[in-house]
């Protein structure tokens, strides 16, 4: 037992044993006969806590009769065990505080399921990522970004007519209100595009207010997907002092964005097909990734019944952080640092291997994927195609290739599974496409919008939804009396 804080909070190491009866070969492949793990339960000034779990029946998501028994102060509490469609299991503690007065403590929520969701499945150990059951590899190879938006938001791939109607909506609603142009005039040229994007998305609520029963939910989904790419491109144009370029209804979603980013009124611009295809793949790969920081933020804000624009604006702000959406920008900053130091990449590889050195290679390994990141595998191919087709000659990209070769072949990196991840390849690819570093996180946000919207819609459609309100273990001072300032 360890004490912590001024209040004497106690924490115990608890052993959980799951006894599993005879199963079919398929079931045995998913679960061992005996499973054991360790968790931490926190509660002030309590004696021992133990949990024993036994499985008596296996079924579908809601058919399981398995329960967990938690013993606390001599009192037993039965906790339901939930099993997802892919065999993921969790102990439902939603009644724990009401029945026992205790809560669980899980800083960072790394072991906490905040919801049940049918949108995205990740198996980090096996390198699996699926949207609504479809493998990311198949979607990246065959689907358009519009198809994936529809799939995530509405649950199934669209028919030909549904896709046409949805794509037409994304095209016809891409213009923004002329009054909003004045907002861009008010931002300084140095304004970060993420700050501009977040503000502009939030301001859409003043033009398209949500009113209960007005039937505009689907229209607002179209509006935000269509207009966000325009606002993002205009934020870039503002930062470099070029005139704003209006959307062109003759172009695809990705082609339209690239045209607004790179065309100028003085000369013709044709969107390179290889770049357009690469952007389509990038947006698909970024579209959703389960309950990450920004998605959880969107769900939390939406749980208060805030409007869709406010919730998505909050998601943009969460994504802005360097530990989340800013990781691919950090990759390019690392490459630039190596270039300025004479391009001696081997020096930095040795620094990364030195356990006494604080330097860390950005863009290698992944918190979730312990084997390989399926998105990185896809992007590596796209990256090679763009570099070859565009004939890009860039010293940073040469350094990136050298680091990639080290990570894929050096024993140190291979043993530790420090393979190049999606942030590494997306940063390199955006650079090759001509997208500036400060726009990288904006590109991430454009791709992630349909995932955020899907989770917001799922939360709103769930009749059991309640406002999110986490608890805490207080560790501050106990009760004390106020003293006059002269006596302190």
Chain segment 192-210, per-residue pLDDT in tens: 999 999 999 999 999 999 8
**What is the Cα–Cα distance from 133 to 130, expressed in whole angstroms?**
5
Residue 437, token pair as written in the block: 């570093």
Please state, as a whole number, how many other Cβ atoms lie within 10 Å of the Cβ of residue 436: 15
Residue 478, phi then psi, degrees to nearest 5: -80, 180
Quick one: angle between helices 193-207 and 440-461, nearest 10? 40
Q: How many CB atoms lie within 10 A of CB 187?
A: 17
Active-site pick, 286, 288, 423, 455:
423
What pLDDT, on a 0 to 100 scale, did the predictor assign at position 396? 84
Given the residues 173, 366, 373, 455, select the one marked as catalytic: 366
Residue 75 sits in which domain range?
2-113
Tokens 């986490």, located at residue: 470
pLDDT given at position 64: 57
The contacts found for 353-357 with CB under 8 angstroms, 24 or more apart, are 353/412
Shared domain for 248 and 386, answered yes or no, is yes
| Helix count and strand count (H, E) for the chain | 19, 11
Q: Which two tokens stand for residue 462?
A: 């769930």
Q: Are residues 258 and 343 in the same domain?
A: yes
Domain co-membership, 104 together with 147 = no
306 in a structural domain: yes
* Three-state SS sequence of 431-464: HHHCCCHHHHHHHHHHHHHHHHHHHHHHHHHCCC
H-type alpha helices, 362-439: 374-390, 395-409, 411-415, 422-433
Tell whether 86 and 232 lie within a shared domain.
Answer: no
- Say if residue 339 is in the same domain as residue 266: yes
Residue 467 domain flag: no
Query: Does residue 50 sit in the same domain as residue 135?
Result: no
Give the rounded distance of the alpha carbon of 416 from its chain centre.
24
Domain contains 37: yes
Of 83, 113, 143, the one marking the end of a domain is: 113
Residue 472 included in any domain: no
> Are residues 136 and 6 part of one domain?
no
The predicted structure's pLDDT at residue 329: 84
Residues 307 and 342 both lie in one domain? yes
Q: So what's the pLDDT on residue 34?
A: 31
Q: For residue 387, report the phi and psi dihedrals to the nearest 5 degrees.
A: -65, -40
User: CA torsion sign, 378 to 261 to 451 to 294?
Assistant: positive
Same domain for 72 and 131, yes or no, is no
| 130 and 227 together in one domain | yes
pTM of the model: 0.85
| pLDDT attached to residue 369 | 83
**pLDDT for the residue 397:** 80
Q: Is 423 a catalytic residue?
A: yes
Q: At 316, is the secondary structure helix, strand, or coil?
A: helix
Consecutive 10-residue averages of pLDDT for the chain (488 residues): 38 42 39 35 44 45 70 90 91 92 91 94 92 97 98 98 97 96 92 95 95 82 97 95 95 97 95 95 96 96 97 97 85 91 92 91 84 85 85 83 88 88 87 91 96 98 94 96 96
Q: How far apart are the first and last CA of the chain?
A: 36
The answer as to whether 248 is a domain residue is yes
Q: Of 81, 98, 113, which residue constitutes the final position of a domain? A: 113
481 is catalytic: no
CA atoms within 13 A on the CB side of 96: 20
CB 87 within 8 A of CB 30: yes
Domain tally, the chain: 2
CATH code for the domain of 251: 1.10.580.10
CB atoms within 10 A of CB 186: 9
Same domain, 81 and 144: no
**Cβ atoms of 384 and 327 closer than 8 Å:** no
**Sign of the torsion formed by the C-alpha atoms of 193, 195, 198 and 202:** negative
Q: Is residue 488 part of a domain?
A: no
Domain endpoint, select from 86, 113, 140: 113
Give the helix/strand (H/E) hosting 41.
Answer: strand 34-44
Residue 257 lies in a domain: yes
pLDDT digit string (tens) for 158-171? 999 999 999 999 99
| Same domain? 379 vs 306 | yes
């Amino acid at each position: 037992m360890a004490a912590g804080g001024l209040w004497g909070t106690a924490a115990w190491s608890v052993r959980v044993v799951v006894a599993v009866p005879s199963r079919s070969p398929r079931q045995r492949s998913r679960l061992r006969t005996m499973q054991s793990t360790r968790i931490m339960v926190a509660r002030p000034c309590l004696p021992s806590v133990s949990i024993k779990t036994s499985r008596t029946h296996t079924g579908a998501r809601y058919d399981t009769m398995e329960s967990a028994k938690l013993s606390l102060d001599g009192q037993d509490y039965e906790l339901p065990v939930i099993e997802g469609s892919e065999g993921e299991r969790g102990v439902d503690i939603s009644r724990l505080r009401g029945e026992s007065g205790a809560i669980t403590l899980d800083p960072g929520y790394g072991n906490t399921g905040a919801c049940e969701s049918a949108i995205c499945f990740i198996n980090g150990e096996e390198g699996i990522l699926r949207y609504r059951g479809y493998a990311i590899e198949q979607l990246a190879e065959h689907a358009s970004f519009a198809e994936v938006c529809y799939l995530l938001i509405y649950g199934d791939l669209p028919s030909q007519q549904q896709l046409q109607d949805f794509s037409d909506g994304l095209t016809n609603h891409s213009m923004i209100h002329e009054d909003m142009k004045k907002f861009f005039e008010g931002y300084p040229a140095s304004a970060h595009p993420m700050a501009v994007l977040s503000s502009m998305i939030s301001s859409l609520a003043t033009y398209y207010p949500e009113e209960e029963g007005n039937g505009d939910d689907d229209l607002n989904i179209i509006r935000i997907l269509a207009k966000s790419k325009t606002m993002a491109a205009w934020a870039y144009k503002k930062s470099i002092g070029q005139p704003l370029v209006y959307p062109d209804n003759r172009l695809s979603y990705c082609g339209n964005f690239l045209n607004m980013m790179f065309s100028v009124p003085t000369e013709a611009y044709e969107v390179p097909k290889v770049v357009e295809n690469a952007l389509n793949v990038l947006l698909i790969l970024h579209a959703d990734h389960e309950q990450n920081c920004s998605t959880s933020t969107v769900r939390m804000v939406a749980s208060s019944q805030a409007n869709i624009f406010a919730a998505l604006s909050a998601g943009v702000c969460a994504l802005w952080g360097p530990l989340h959406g800013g990781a691919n920008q950090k990759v390019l900053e690392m490459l630039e640092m190596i270039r300025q130091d004479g391009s001696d990449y081997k020096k930095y590889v040795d620094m990364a291997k030195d356990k006494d050195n604080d330097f860390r290679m950005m863009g290698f390994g992944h918190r979730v994927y312990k084997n390989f990141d399926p998105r990185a595998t896809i992007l590596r191919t796209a990256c090679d195609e763009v570099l070859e087709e565009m004939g890009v000659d860039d010293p940073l990209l040469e350094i990136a290739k050298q680091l990639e070769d080290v990570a894929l072949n050096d024993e140190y990196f291979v043993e530790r599974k420090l393979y190049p991840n999606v942030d590494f390849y997306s940063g390199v690819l955006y650079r090759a496409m001509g997208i500036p570093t400060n726009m990288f996180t904006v590109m991430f946000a454009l791709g992630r919008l349909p995932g955020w919207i899907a989770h917001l819609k799922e939360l709103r459609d769930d009749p059991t939804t309640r406002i999110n309100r986490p608890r805490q273990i207080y560790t501050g001072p106990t009760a004390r009396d106020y003293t006059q300032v002269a006596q302190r």
